[in-house]
Structure 1
Amino acid sequence: MNNTRVMSPNAIPHWEISGFVEYIGSGHTQDDMILPVPEGDSAVRLGNDATIRQELCVTRQTYYSITFTAARSCAQAEALNVSVTPDSGVLPIQTVYTSSGWDSYSWAFKAKHSTVWLSIHNPGYEENPACGPLVDFIAIKALHPPRHIPGNMLRNGDFEEGPYIFPAVPWGVLVPPMSEDLYSPLPGWTVLSDTKVVKYVDAAHHAVPRGARAVELVAGRECALAQEARTVPGRPYRLSFSVGDGANGCEGPLGVDVYAGQAGTAAKVSYESRGTGGHRRVELDFEAAEGLTTRVVFHSSNYHMKPDGTLCGPVVDDVSLVPVHRHAARRLRM
């Protein structure tokens, strides 16, 4: 160590480092800024061109999700490059979704080999080499992509399969936007955005309409949650889902815009939240448009903030899509 800087590539047990890496204790100060650590006594800070990496034994052709907790420090546009050979992705961390400044992020990959390197890299370069993201809590979890089940044409409609959520943190896990060639930490679902995310939450820290997991739409109209299902053109279908609040202080009229089927098939669903939990069940009937698939899309109608100034939004859960007889089709129940 040279003050807080780690000088040896193997000084942190089980990790290899390169670039400007610091090992800091909770409450470490820089200028007039205090750097807290969410759990335990220590974390690492990745300065200019810094990397931490660890070799992992995995099962080939298995899907995995990586979860880690990170916070900004003094750089203006911070990002982290997460990679598991040969795949990689860049996670922007400019937007902060918690009052503590720490957020948990997820990223997924499919194992191409039985031994891989997990790397977290700060690609930035600042005049102060110590400026860069802090990283604490890193976990890997095998994903078991759910298949279609009787009574639901959507996969993982209950959101029970997803990235690891650290039991000690109350803020859930952010699921980043992804292009078509990337794997989703939330199997079956795609996050559509340039830089914004959805939040994966658990029943231990949030009100969840059903089961143990759900998704909070925290980024307004800048981010959408989507899935495609095989449908027959012209045939009627029913989309059902629950919308509510996570009992996290997100108050007021929470709105969800839903799109499915034909271009004009859309619904605006509102839920009046007191920020203490609760939900309602919604059904939307539509006819499938031309083509072999129908895309189901959810996004928050507006931006919402909790009293502490952090972003929040409606919670979506228990989503199902089923074919219906034409005489049984009915309009959206409001």
Structure 2
Amino acid sequence: MKLAIIFITCIFRSIASADILQNPDFELPISNLPTNSTSPFVLLNENNTIPGWTFQGEVQYVTAGANVSLPRNGHAIMLGQDGKINQTFTANGDLIQYLLTFTLSLASRNCKANVSLVVSAPDSSAEFSFTQKFGKEAWEVYGHQLGTWGNGESVNLILQSQVTDTDPNSTCWPVVDTLFLKTLGPLAQNSDNLLPNGGFELGPAFLDSSGEGVLLISEPSLVESALQQWTIMGTVKYINSKNYFIPEGKAAIEIVSGVSAGIQTAKTLSDGSNYNLEFMLGDANDSCSGELLVGVGAGSSAQNFSLQSNGSGAVKKYSMTFKGGPSPTQITFLSYKTTQREDGVFCGPVIDGVVLRASHGHKSNLQPILIALFFLAILQMSELL
């Protein structure tokens, strides 16, 4: 009965909610937009405002052109000195998680990143910046969990620039575009896998305007991670089957930021019982070639696994056994190498199809009893004869 309760399959609700935010891609033009201006930047002020958003500090309306690359080849917002935009939305219905996907680029293709973007909401804040090259596009797509709300709560989403350079005149300001909110209901376990979201199907939304996947930065909290039930170490890329080779299902994780980057989860298991961990190790068909080396830890057990890749889409299925401990068991996948493509883009091993099951080995304590019963049955039969 207890096992039956544990393995009940529950429904997971996922709703892609493009209409939660007003003007999320900034394509509704600002008021008094100049028609004869040759500059791709228009400073917002009391006469030039952006529909759906309020702003403070230096904020400019950006039009894609020769010097500015945008995902939709349309419009975006640049956050300059003390620049901030915000919008308030209402979290109706039951308590659900809100996952934000957005694009981040720089005001010029030639400048270096010395400023970051801070995204915040009630009880959450995260900082995003260009530190490495993770794709061929002039922008990067990020995912972030804003928080969990419901019952008509008012949520204020804030995006603001944060200078990391002491000279504001040399600062290359961030450009924000194409925000998308996705909502997720309660996560529950199914009967085939002790690890919720072991196939990584539950995460932030992918954007149609980008083919580079969604970057997830370091997040040590299982509850606050945009990748449901997995913490993030370093930077990983959430990839989909539309643009990459995926070993199984529609989504997977590529560990892109090198040594000690990866993902981790935790599960309460029976102390001393045997368990089997299965997973798939592959490459994303993104020209990431060479030896892909991953260290896998499960409780007190650890093993290394490798895949020799030519970058054209390959996969191997691996498994390992381990014993449950007295406290929640940590299950970790870490990259042991830093890998780059020929064009300098950072890439790495793909993890997918992580399945945790109780091993038949945990029933081994029954074997002596079964053997004794077997010999007892033979003895009884011999006496009858």
TM-score, structure 1 normalization: 0.88
- 5 Å matches for 1:98-109? 98-108=135-145, 109=147
Moved more, 182-191 or 239-248: 182-191
Please report the RMSD computed on the Cα atoms of aligned residues, expressed in angstroms. 2.2
Q: Cα offset for 1:35?
A: 2.6
Matched residue of 2:162: which SS? coil
> Corresponding residue for 2:59?
21
> Corresponding residue for 2:359?
324
Q: Cα offset for 1:151?
A: 2.3
Matched residue of 1:239: which SS? strand
Whole-Å separation in 2 of the counterparts to 1:101 and 1:217: 21
> Corresponding residue for 2:176?
135
Whole-Å separation in 2 of the counterparts to 1:140 and 1:327: 43
**1:183–1:313: structure 2 CA closer, same or farther, 3 Å change rule?**
same
Q: Cα offset for 1:299?
A: 1.4
Say whether the 8 Å CA contact 1:232–1:292 is kept in structure 2.
no
**1:242–1:78: structure 2 CA closer, same or farther, 3 Å change rule?**
same
* Structure 2 residue runs without a partner (length 5+): 1-32, 365-385
> Corresponding residue for 2:374?
none
Q: Cα offset for 1:101?
A: 3.1
Equivalent of residue 125 in structure 2, options 72, 88, 92: 88
Say whether the 8 Å CA contact 1:75–1:132 is kept in structure 2.
no
Moved more, 158-167 or 109-118: 109-118
Q: Cα offset for 1:243?
A: 0.8
Whole-Å separation in 1 of the counterparts to 2:362 and 2:348: 36
**1:325–1:39: structure 2 CA closer, same or farther, 3 Å change rule?**
same
**1:139–1:80: structure 2 CA closer, same or farther, 3 Å change rule?**
same
> Corresponding residue for 1:147?
188
Matched residue of 2:43: which SS? coil
Say whether the 8 Å CA contact 2:260–2:336 is kept in structure 1.
no
> Corresponding residue for 2:274?
236
Matched residue of 1:123: which SS? strand
Q: How many residues align?
A: 318
Whole-Å separation in 2 of the counterparts to 1:150 and 1:324: 14
> Corresponding residue for 2:205?
164
- 5 Å matches for 1:212-223? 212-223=250-261
**1:114–1:327: structure 2 CA closer, same or farther, 3 Å change rule?**
closer
Q: Deviations over 1:127-176 (max 9, x none)?
A: 22873111111110002343111121111001111101102311000112
Q: Cα offset for 1:56?
A: 1.5
Task: Tell me whether 1:6 sits opposite 2:6 in the alignment.
Answer: no
- 5 Å matches for 1:44-59? 44-59=77-92
> Corresponding residue for 2:343?
308
Q: Deviations over 1:72-109 (max 9, x none)?
A: 34454322111123432223432331122311111111
Matched residue of 1:326: which SS? helix
Whole-Å separation in 1 of the counterparts to 2:186 and 2:286: 29
Bigger Rg, which one: 2
- 5 Å matches for 1:232-271? 232-262=270-300, 265-271=301-307
Say whether the 8 Å CA contact 1:218–1:312 is kept in structure 2.
yes
Q: Deviations over 1:39-77 (max 9, x none)?
A: 132222111111111222223521110010002344543
> Corresponding residue for 1:123?
162
> Corresponding residue for 1:211?
249
Moved more, 172-181 or 207-216: 172-181
Whole-Å separation in 2 of the counterparts to 1:145 and 1:217: 26
Q: Cα offset for 1:328?
A: 8.9
Paired amino acid for 1:277:
G
- 5 Å matches for 1:187-206? 187-192=228-233, 196-206=234-244
Paired amino acid for 1:116:
V
Q: Cα offset for 1:210?
A: 0.7
Whole-Å separation in 2 of the counterparts to 1:129 and 1:5: 19
Q: Cα offset for 1:225?
A: 0.1
> Corresponding residue for 1:31?
none
Whole-Å separation in 1 of the counterparts to 2:306 and 2:256: 15
* Structure 1 residue runs without a partner (length 5+): 29-33, 330-334
Whole-Å separation in 2 of the counterparts to 1:296 and 1:98: 28
Paired amino acid for 2:201:
E
Task: Tell me whether 1:180 sits opposite 2:199 in the alignment.
Answer: no
